Amino acid sequence: MSKNFETLPLRAAHYIRKNSLISEGDHILAAVSGGPDSVALLSILLDLKDNLGIERITVAHFDHGLRGDESDEDREFVRALASSTGLDFHCGSADVRSVAQDRKISIEMAARECRRSFLLGTAVALDARKIALGHTANDQAEEVMLRILRGTGPSGIQAMSPKTAEGIIRPLLFATRDKILEYLREQGIAYRTDSSNLDPFCQRNFLRLNIFPLLRQAFHPHIEETITRCADLAREEESWRASEVETRLRDICVELSENRVTLDCRKLKGLHPALVRRILRSAVEKVRGSLSGIGLVHLETLSELVFSGMTGKSVRFPGGIEAVGRGTKLLIRPVKCARSQDPRREALAIPSPGKYSFDQYCFEIGFSDDAGCVPSSGPDCIRMDADKLNWPLELRFRRPGDRFRPLGMTGTKKLQDFFTDCLLPAEDRQEVPLLCDSEKICWVAGMRIDDRVKVEAGTTAVLIARFFRLPRNGELK
């Protein structure tokens, strides 16, 4: 028995405990593509299940539909792997090319967003507290290099975190791919090889196939581990800076609520420009829920507004956020939209099963007399007990005071609180469609159904509902 076989799971256990990735009684949703990293992840989680007190492991696989028969074979490989280990299997899919074309983003970015949406939605539906991804030290080193080459600031060098607020964990971020391949060989575990990884069609693949081999040759063979250590150090430094920024922000903040922050510009002007940028960055994140799409150019514009002292002047940022100068105060808030005056935001009646276009979505609703019929899995397609619905149905967006009973709960919950628990950004909450009957919210689309309409052992008729985003031209698919 080799040393690697003995130590890789133990090293993973140490890394998991050190970073508090898994808690006693956790239900883990393991994302498994079929490649070596994710297959090793699943094997190690199973090995450590009792040791770490994991209550349940569920396998999730996302089919990007990009490689034809090879994608189908990957899916069936993972399905068989889950079956052989006695684990539940959930699969999702999307037309990634259409998403990329529709949103004018790269195939890689579209695949990442579709996959992320599926995993988060499935975790919510299954009440899985953690989503385990198979990212390795190689992936981390590539991410650091990509960010540096794109001009990231100090916080960007920390790259991927071992865990996120959404419950995503990366238990193998410490391990190089060579060690993982060695582990799989020694245990005799089969895995799939993604042929697209051998094509330098995107920047990440170009780095992996062309740049890192040169770095190993010119510097040393363990360059990935060196770069990963830089990310670890940056993360520790960033954690310390964040605590300092939070302390300063509390002193400078005049008002802080769920959707607005007001800052004292007089106090901001007395600080170092670098600290001002970090405080503004933190304030924007509190209002917006994330910093996706917010770059240095936006923070510099915001800094200029602070130092200009121009009352009434405002600037807008990606994600529907605006900053307004008010004398010695700076107000950051969501852009106000008169949604109630927009006829597209009115409720749409659903008198019978069929296909309906609602705002930017298409809904398909139909009956099934087979309670055991399982449609393609994922948060975009659900089943409800047809006899528990009070027709007519309707599609609408949220209203003040909305409540529903999330699947698995015995009492009702404010929709606002549910969105907060799911870490849904404030600017996205008004965009979540709701399928309702004459008495209640039956489905928070893409997130969770109401417990009162769930399919049970005695169900005789099932209503199947699915939805997808419409193309830009608004035509039904």
pLDDT in tens, 340-393: 444 445 788 888 888 888 877 889 998 875 544 444 445 788 999 999 999 889
**Across residues 433-451, what is the average pLDDT?**
93
Q: Is the peptide bond before 9 cis (omega within 30 degrees of 0)?
A: no
In a domain, 474, yes or no: no
Residue 313 pLDDT more than 60? yes
pLDDT value at position 312?
A: 65
Q: What's the rounded Cα separation, in Å, for the pair 310 and 296?
A: 21
Residue 136 pLDDT more than 50? yes
Residue 55 pLDDT more than 60? yes
Q: Please give the residue that has the higher pLDDT: either 86 or 204.
A: 86
Question: Could you give the strand order of the β-sheet that contains 348-350, starting from the edge strand earlier in sequence?
Answer: 348-350, 393-396, 434-436, 441-444, 448-449
pLDDT value at position 116?
A: 92
If asked whether residues 298 and 409 sit together in one domain, one would say: no
If asked whether residues 286 and 391 sit together in one domain, one would say: no
Sorting pLDDT into bands at 50, 70 and 90, what band is 2? very low
In a domain, 441, yes or no: yes
If asked whether residues 10 and 104 sit together in one domain, one would say: yes
Domain at 75, CATH number: 3.40.50.620
In a domain, 252, yes or no: no
CA atoms within 13 A on the CB side of 32: 31
Which residue from 405, 395, 407 is spatially nearest to 454, judged by alpha carbons?
A: 407
Count of domains observed in the chain: 3
If asked whether residues 294 and 217 sit together in one domain, one would say: no
* From 15-29, 68-82, 423-437, the region with the lowest mean pLDDT: 423-437
Choosing from 186, 213, 231, the residue where a domain stops is: 231
If asked whether residues 273 and 208 sit together in one domain, one would say: no
Choosing from 334, 365, 386, the residue where a domain stops is: 334
pLDDT value at position 336?
A: 60
Burial of 225 (0-12, 13-18, 19+ CB in 10 A): middle
If asked whether residues 166 and 281 sit together in one domain, one would say: no
Give the N- to C-terminal CA distance of the chain in Å, as an integer: 56
If asked whether residues 111 and 159 sit together in one domain, one would say: yes
3-state secondary structure of 330: strand
Which residue from 459, 465, 467 is spatially nearest to 385, judged by alpha carbons?
A: 459
Structure tokens at 27: 């239900």
Reported as a single tens digit per residue, the pLDDT across 158-171 is 899 999 988 999 99
Domain at 270, CATH number: 3.30.465.60
Mark 102-130 as b/e (b = at least 16 C-beta within 10 Å): eeeeebbebbebbbbbbbbbbbbbbebbb
Q: What's the rounded Cα separation, in Å, for the pair 172 and 52?
A: 15
Q: Please give the residue that has the higher pLDDT: either 269 or 199.
A: 269
**Across residues 17-46, what is the average pLDDT?**
96
pTM: 0.62
If asked whether residues 315 and 390 sit together in one domain, one would say: no
In a domain, 240, yes or no: no
Residue 50 pLDDT more than 70? yes
* The one-letter amino acid at 348: L
Domain encompassing residue 380: 346-469
Burial of 133 (0-12, 13-18, 19+ CB in 10 A): buried
pLDDT, mean over the chain? 86
If asked whether residues 266 and 309 sit together in one domain, one would say: yes
pLDDT value at position 340?
A: 40
Q: Give the whole-number percent of the chain exceeding pLDDT 90.
A: 47
If asked whether residues 323 and 391 sit together in one domain, one would say: no
Structure tokens at 29: 């949703």
Sorting pLDDT into bands at 50, 70 and 90, what band is 58? very high
In a domain, 238, yes or no: no
If asked whether residues 326 and 350 sit together in one domain, one would say: no
Q: Give the whole-number percent of the chain exceeding pLDDT 70.
A: 91
Residue 157 pLDDT more than 50? yes
If asked whether residues 17 and 128 sit together in one domain, one would say: yes
In a domain, 262, yes or no: yes
In a domain, 312, yes or no: yes
Reported as a single tens digit per residue, the pLDDT across 252-294 is 988 887 678 899 989 999 899 889 989 998 998 888 887 777 8
Choosing from 290, 314, 334, the residue where a domain stops is: 334
In a domain, 245, yes or no: no
